[in-house]
Structure 1
Amino acid sequence: MLKTNYALLLAVTIFSASCSGPGKPAGNNAPDSLHHLVQHYYDEKMEFFPLDATMNGEHQYDGLLQIDISDRFRLKLDSFYTRYQAALQGIDTTVLNDNDLISYSMLQREVSIGKAGLRFPDHLMPIQQFWGLTLTLPQFGSGTSAQPFKNKADYEKFIQRMKSFAEWSDTAIANMRRGMSTGYVLPKALALKVIPQLADLAKKDSNNVFYTPLRLLPADIDSTGRNELRTAYKAAIEQYVLPSYAKLHDFIVNEYLPKTRTSTGIDGLPNGKEWYTYLIRFWTTTDLTPDQIYATGEKEVARIRREMDSVKNSTGFTGDLPAFFNFIRTDKQFRIFTTPSQVLDSFRAIEQKIMPAVKELYGHLPKTKFEIRQTEAFRAASASAEYMPGSPDGSRPGVFYVPILDATTFNYTGMECLFLHEAIPGHHFQTSIQQENDSLPKFRRFNWIGSYGEGYALYCESLGRDLGLYTNPYSYFGHLSDEIHRAIRLVVDVGMHAKGWTREQAIKYMMDNEPVSEHEAVSEIERYMAIPGQALSYKIGELKIRELRNKYTQSTGFSIKNFHDELLKDGCVPLSVLEEKMARRFK
């Protein structure tokens, strides 16, 4: 049940009323009014999304798990967005400084696009193989993620979350049954990938990730207290969590799978084309059409292929580009590892190698610590390499997760650009600098906008040579492979969700244009099927950042340090806001 903050509700209502009449607040009050509004917004939003609060280091809701897929929750969320839309109309933007103008436009966009998204019934498809609560909860419950397990109270809070998960899973099943009756169901290929994940998380086995905190019980609890806590915690796992995963598993296998759809893209759902148009706006922060994005993707694929062909020729390889893809993918010289620890150590060596040069490109470095870890076994099969932000108070480091299913097949050619993207100076720098900047309101410190965040991380891959990497043609080819991978996404994402492409067509296009195995291509394409539009954000954002750098490099007194510091200092922003703020800085 959502605990209503009546004092906050009253404050926002009074604020909205004071701004709604013909007499707006006096100009000199507008900045203070905005500051109060954005703080209220953040505080209330954390109550709506308590897992986000935990990730952000806000621990007052660590025992809360909203049933965020319920109709009741969605109605409350719609009302929440509507109230802040009304309140923003009372702000006199003519007297706001640059930083406050960014806050205003970002909050305006966030509540508008959040409200618009509620028109589409994503809650009727609440489970898929790439992300969602069925995968987030075990990460939180692993004892090594954002959820604290430092004392008895921490354990009791996660017990409450495990209890709430039983209600969430029952709601998910009820919603999926509604989806089955109205045509909102997953493609069969995605449902099949969910089944083994649910089966693993339903096992009553000490290796199940949910049992891990039982090996981490606080030392300052006496033996009697430890035994009582162990008993209560284990009972919660076995009474609420394991049966919920088992119930979800059996439902998917027995009821849902026979009703899944054969279509690939979101356009196969009722109102799917409009939904995809919305998702393009959400993820790219642009009004680009599917056709415009598709054309950009084809152009970029052709450009990068030409450079790949040039690099291939420089190695003396005599075959064509597809043959070189196969060579890169399969030749033993590119598979130099035997254990996961060797892979992780190799990434750590990249960090040590680049840091002196990083300091030449960036004036402001983050304080948040950084670690490299292997992705947990329960989700590794469907996971990509990823970054999980640290906490600004230093209690949790930023983590670069690397899925390693078999170290002997791990190809080194893409490791350098992967590290630049996911770790340093990519996601770790961007998110840490943003979170550490206490001059930003909290809703911006902990905000994420894909076209900016992923666009910046992809841009970072192009810095490899400046940082002493890509010293052999194969590592540089790895960089080009990753770049074309993001260009391919523009083609296949639009192809599947707006042009009627099948899953198999998309897999073939990917394998024809980059050195990936069929298993890798299947995993990627199914990811884009699960989260339409997200894959567009990388290349769209990177092209804008590259355009801005090329433009301002010509400015008198241009400094790459200043460019990067300005790029990062305001955190994630929509691409239009990015363009405006960079113009103010480098005019």
Structure 2
Amino acid sequence: MKRVITCLLMLAATAADAQQNNPQLHRLFDNYYNERMQLFPTDATAAGFHQYDDRLAIEGSAPHIAATKTFYRKYLGELKKFGPVSLNTGDRLSLETLIYTLQSDLEAQSLHLEYLPMNQFISTPLVLASFGSGDGDQPFHTVKDYERWARRMTVFTVWTDTCIANLNKGIQAGVVLPKALVKLMIPQMEALAEKDTAKNIFYKPLSKFPASFSAPEKQRITQLYHTVIATHMRPAYARLAAYLKEQYLPAAQDKAGLFALPGGDRIYRYYVNYFTTAPDLTPGQIYQTGLTEVARIRAAMEQIKTQTGFKGDLPAFFSYLKTNPSLMPFKKPEEVLEAYRAIYRKVLPYIPQLFGHQPQTPMEVRRVEAYREAASAGPFYIKGDIAGKRAAILYVPVPDATKVNVTFYGMEATFLHEGIPGHHFQIALQQENKAIPAFRRQPSFSAYFEGWALYVESLGEQLGCYQEPYQKMGALNNEIHRAIRLVLDVAIHTGKMTREEAIDYMMANEAVSKTIATAEVERYMAMPGQALSYKTGEIRLKALRDKLAAQLGDRFSLRDFHDALLAYGDMPLQVLEKYMNDWAAHYGQR
């Protein structure tokens, strides 16, 4: 009888999952995504939908702002007609996630974020450089692909006009970037305006023609590209560079954070909520959590220092780690890349113990392109496209191989985070997941996917890594780096610290060079709140794991927990926590 009752409970608990997808809701999801791709065609290209590859949205223009506002309100109204109780798990999560997204998008429109349309990390000019390289999301397989990209390039002149107009509006409103960031953007734009066809990235597709192209087709496309690049792309980038240097830089602010701008506190609170997806957290709470985490991780570093036999204090240990020649064994960039590939081979045998599902999309390790290598603070992941047969890439910047330090670069922890099983598993599985609507197959929530990747770093020992103290120190260095971000992001944007004080704080609390500390602090200045997502997400995921492990006892499986976390793609943390609590309730009755 007990077995029968248990089975009945299991059937009742999984009734929602057994339901079919709601056809009406899924039509709405599809309509939303199709309409959104038309409004944001570069996002469509990045997501692998190529019907709009010849378009470029003039984001920040009055017509585009009005169209998106109408779009957000329309679908928010339609979605609220559906009751989540009647939906299966996947549909309910998609509904709650989309409502959250639309509400956030509407809030952003009231803040005039179009006055800050670009920075040294994220901007349409940099996206187009990636697309135009021939190694990014824009395909160059057919003659039509080449023609589509040519048409997209011609629109960049209009985008540039709008960008400069909005930057001017920002100057008038006092909403401007810090001078330190503008100084980084100028050489980026100058490099992309390069006249030498051998050096300018937009000419690269001309050296990669598919073998199927005829000689007349190659000649016609070559002539077309030389014309379009010379009359649209290079002049637009040159105009941006000149404008930034001559007009915007003198008007840029001297302070590092949003607190110095009119309405800056409200803008920062929006970004905090946007990137953490945890509206219960205030900047003050996040700052205090950061201080607590820094202290905890420093204590763990003291233990590693003692284990190595080093006799000085922790700052002296940091200096030793940064200058020890044995920790900088590389002579050539390829040696650095091979070191990351060796970690790849080390980790793979342990994966099945922690994951029941692995992505089909392959991943490669490559060096960062020259045009963005100097601005890259460390290795980063670029998603692949299984349908387009394009591998994901772990990009590694190697401006000087002899200065790559295995400890303060935290090579093993970095590979786990940026590659496998961090970003690659989560993002590739989400892209490949046909059980969720198309609009949810691309990562959108930083607290989830960055929190996941940082959480994965804590699995290092279980994945065959951190077997010697310097690699464990590297992992702690990576972790304290994310804890420091909680302190510095808030401190910079609320006026607690200057740019220089933030750089000093970072160098005092981790084994990092001044060059890297400076690049990191300038990243926080450019992308307020984004750096909060890593530790916030990781702390929430660990707390969720520990809570459910205690609740389920011997029935808890870490492998099943991981598979459940990744089963429906990324989502706001508040949506995730409710879903995982429901999962544990059903799982416990199996």
TM-score where L is the length of structure 1: 0.94
Indicate whether 1:501 and 2:497 are aligned: yes
Q: Which residue of 1 aligns with 2:451?
A: 455
Question: 1:439 pairs with 435, 441, 445, which one?
Answer: 435
User: Which letter does structure 2 place at the counterpart of 1:290?
Assistant: P
The answer as to whether partners of 2:433 and 2:441 remain within 8 angstroms in 1 is: yes
Q: Which residue of 2 aligns with 1:465?
A: 461
In structure 1, C-alpha distance between the alignment counterparts of 2:21 and 2:345, rounded to whole Å: 47
The answer as to whether partners of 1:33 and 1:91 remain within 8 angstroms in 2 is: no
Indicate whether 1:60 and 2:51 are aligned: yes
Question: 2:421 pairs with 422, 425, 432, which one?
Answer: 425
The answer as to whether partners of 1:30 and 1:91 remain within 8 angstroms in 2 is: no
Q: Percent of aligned pairs with the same residue?
A: 44
Q: Which residue of 1 aligns with 2:571?
A: 573
In structure 1, C-alpha distance between the alignment counterparts of 2:60 and 2:211, rounded to whole Å: 38
Deviations 1:189-232 (A, max 9, x none): 00001111111111111111111111012222221221111111
The answer as to whether partners of 1:31 and 1:95 remain within 8 angstroms in 2 is: no
Q: Which residue of 2 aligns with 1:246?
A: 238
In structure 1, C-alpha distance between the alignment counterparts of 2:526 and 2:565, rounded to whole Å: 31
Q: Which residue of 2 aligns with 1:546?
A: 542
The CA RMSD measured in Å over matched residues stands at: 1.3
The answer as to whether partners of 1:57 and 1:392 remain within 8 angstroms in 2 is: no
Question: 2:295 pairs with 294, 302, 314, which one?
Answer: 302
Deviations 1:68-114 (A, max 9, x none): 12121111111110001111121122311221111111010010001
TM-score where L is the length of structure 2: 0.93
Q: Which residue of 1 aligns with 2:584?
A: 586
Q: Which residue of 2 aligns with 1:387?
A: 381
1:89-108 alignment, distance < 5 Å: 89-108=80-99
In structure 1, C-alpha distance between the alignment counterparts of 2:249 and 2:442, rounded to whole Å: 37
Q: Which residue of 2 aligns with 1:12?
A: none
Q: Which residue of 2 aligns with 1:533?
A: 529
Deviations 1:97-140 (A, max 9, x none): 22111111101001000111111122112121111111111111
Q: Which residue of 2 aligns with 1:491?
A: 487
Indicate whether 1:406 and 2:400 are aligned: yes
Q: Which residue of 1 aligns with 2:70?
A: 79
User: Which letter does structure 2 place at the counterpart of 1:530?
Assistant: A
Question: 1:167 pairs with 144, 158, 161, which one?
Answer: 158
In structure 1, C-alpha distance between the alignment counterparts of 2:212 and 2:443, rounded to whole Å: 36
In structure 2, C-alpha distance between the alignment counterparts of 1:506 and 1:84, rounded to whole Å: 42
Indicate whether 1:346 and 2:339 are aligned: yes
CA deviation after TM superposition for structure 1 residue 394, in Å: 4.9
Question: 1:148 pairs with 139, 151, 154, which one?
Answer: 139
In structure 2, C-alpha distance between the alignment counterparts of 1:73 and 1:470, rounded to whole Å: 50
Indicate whether 1:293 and 2:286 are aligned: yes
CA deviation after TM superposition for structure 1 residue 406, in Å: 0.6
User: Which letter does structure 2 place at the counterpart of 1:345?
Assistant: E
User: Which letter does structure 2 place at the counterpart of 1:240?
Assistant: H
Deviations 1:28-53 (A, max 9, x none): 99922211111111111111111111
Give the secondary structure class of the aligned counterpart of 1:387.
strand
The answer as to whether partners of 1:489 and 1:536 remain within 8 angstroms in 2 is: yes
Give the secondary structure class of the aligned counterpart of 2:453.
helix
Q: Which residue of 2 aligns with 1:228?
A: 220
Give the secondary structure class of the aligned counterpart of 1:399.
strand
User: Which letter does structure 2 place at the counterpart of 1:446?
Assistant: Q
Deviations 1:438-465 (A, max 9, x none): 0001111124100000000000111111
In structure 1, C-alpha distance between the alignment counterparts of 2:210 and 2:224, rounded to whole Å: 15
Give the secondary structure class of the aligned counterpart of 2:366.
strand
In structure 2, C-alpha distance between the alignment counterparts of 1:99 and 1:175, rounded to whole Å: 40
Give the secondary structure class of the aligned counterpart of 1:204.
coil
Deviates most, 424-433 or 230-239: 230-239
User: Which letter does structure 2 place at the counterpart of 1:570?
Assistant: Y
Indicate whether 1:519 and 2:515 are aligned: yes
Question: 1:279 pairs with 256, 271, 278, which one?
Answer: 271
The answer as to whether partners of 1:368 and 1:394 remain within 8 angstroms in 2 is: no
Indicate whether 1:262 and 2:258 are aligned: no
Runs of 4+, deviation exceeding 4 Å: none
In structure 1, C-alpha distance between the alignment counterparts of 2:511 and 2:321, rounded to whole Å: 7
- Alpha carbons of structure 1 residues 565 and 29: separation in structure 2 relative to 1, 3 Å: closer
User: Which letter does structure 1 place at the counterpart of 2:97?
Assistant: M
In structure 2, C-alpha distance between the alignment counterparts of 1:280 and 1:204, rounded to whole Å: 41
Q: Which residue of 2 aligns with 1:22?
A: none
User: Which letter does structure 1 place at the counterpart of 2:351?
Assistant: V
CA deviation after TM superposition for structure 1 residue 278, in Å: 0.8
Question: 1:48 pairs with 39, 47, 50, which one?
Answer: 39
Deviations 1:394-449 (A, max 9, x none): 52111111111111111112110000000000000000111111000111112410
In structure 2, C-alpha distance between the alignment counterparts of 1:166 and 1:471, rounded to whole Å: 53
Q: Which residue of 1 aligns with 2:201?
A: 209
In structure 1, C-alpha distance between the alignment counterparts of 2:348 and 2:213, rounded to whole Å: 42
Q: Which residue of 2 aligns with 1:479?
A: 475
Gap regions ≥5 residues in structure 2: 1-18, 586-590
In structure 1, C-alpha distance between the alignment counterparts of 2:311 and 2:443, rounded to whole Å: 48
Q: Which residue of 2 aligns with 1:9?
A: none
The answer as to whether partners of 2:340 and 2:411 remain within 8 angstroms in 1 is: yes
In structure 1, C-alpha distance between the alignment counterparts of 2:435 and 2:80, rounded to whole Å: 24
CA deviation after TM superposition for structure 1 residue 259, in Å: 0.6
In structure 2, C-alpha distance between the alignment counterparts of 1:258 and 1:325, rounded to whole Å: 38
In structure 1, C-alpha distance between the alignment counterparts of 2:112 and 2:316, rounded to whole Å: 44
The answer as to whether partners of 1:54 and 1:61 remain within 8 angstroms in 2 is: yes
The answer as to whether partners of 2:443 and 2:449 remain within 8 angstroms in 1 is: no
Aligned length: 560
In structure 1, C-alpha distance between the alignment counterparts of 2:523 and 2:442, rounded to whole Å: 25
CA deviation after TM superposition for structure 1 residue 57, in Å: 1.1
User: Which letter does structure 2 place at the counterpart of 1:296?
Assistant: T
In structure 2, C-alpha distance between the alignment counterparts of 1:93 and 1:152, rounded to whole Å: 46
CA deviation after TM superposition for structure 1 residue 506, in Å: 0.8
In structure 2, C-alpha distance between the alignment counterparts of 1:66 and 1:325, rounded to whole Å: 47
